[in-house]
């Protein structure tokens, strides 16, 4: 059974747009590449044909995974999100107790994660350690670079 993924309305829209692009733009382009390579003759020694078929397989796998993600996604009603403790869709401000650095993230599903825009996947070690905690709570988190101590400064929407 596939894992349910909680997602925002915007995140679901982006996934659907990507799926549509793959089906309506990428899939026909690869089909054309295969047809062009097939027209060049002997398929047993045709590297272009083999490469196009491999690209087609990878694309179909990506489409399949994206469809599965969309099917198993549940849109979160942002009006029902609680800010008394950390949960998905919360904006959290945390302080690194060693360096004093303040960081702000929004906890989102894996498919929406994007550190450049401050969206942290709930599957990350930091998010897992923060889920369920309240403002003022301190947590120790093991990350690839070692252990860090964090304090929750603020929880908001």
pLDDT confidence bin for 2, thresholds 50/70/90: low
Both 145 and 96 in a single domain? yes
What residues make up the domain containing 62?
A: 5-75
Spatial separation of the C-alpha atoms in residues 84 and 54, rounded to whole Å: 50
Write the CB contacts of 55 (distance below 8 Å, at least 6 apart in sequence).
30, 33
| More confident position, 156 or 80 | 156
| More confident position, 77 or 26 | 26
Mean pLDDT of 8-35: 92
The total number of structural domains that make up the chain: 2
Spatial separation of the C-alpha atoms in residues 155 and 115, rounded to whole Å: 18
Choose the final residue of a domain: 50, 75, 100: 75
> What pairs with residue 138 in β-bridges?
151
């Amino acid at each position: 059974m596939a894992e349910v993924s909680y997602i925002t309305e915007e995140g679901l829209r982006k996934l659907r747009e990507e799926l549509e692009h793959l089906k309506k733009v990428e899939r026909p382009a690869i089909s054309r590449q295969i047809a062009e390579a097939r027209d060049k003759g002997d398929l047993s020694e045709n590297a272009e044909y083999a490469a196009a078929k491999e690209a087609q397989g990878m694309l179909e796998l990506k489409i399949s995974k994206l469809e599965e993600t969309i099917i198993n996604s549940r849109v979160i009603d942002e009006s029902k999100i609680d800010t008394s403790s950390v949960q998905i869709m919360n904006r959290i401000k945390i302080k690194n107790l060693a360096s004093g650095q303040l960081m702000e993230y929004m906890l989102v599903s894996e498919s929406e994660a994007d550190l450049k825009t401050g969206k942290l996947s709930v599957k990350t070690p930091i998010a897992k350690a923060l889920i369920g905690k309240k403002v003022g709570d301190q947590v120790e988190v093991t990350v690839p670079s070692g252990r860090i101590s964090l304090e929750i400064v603020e929880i908001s929407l």
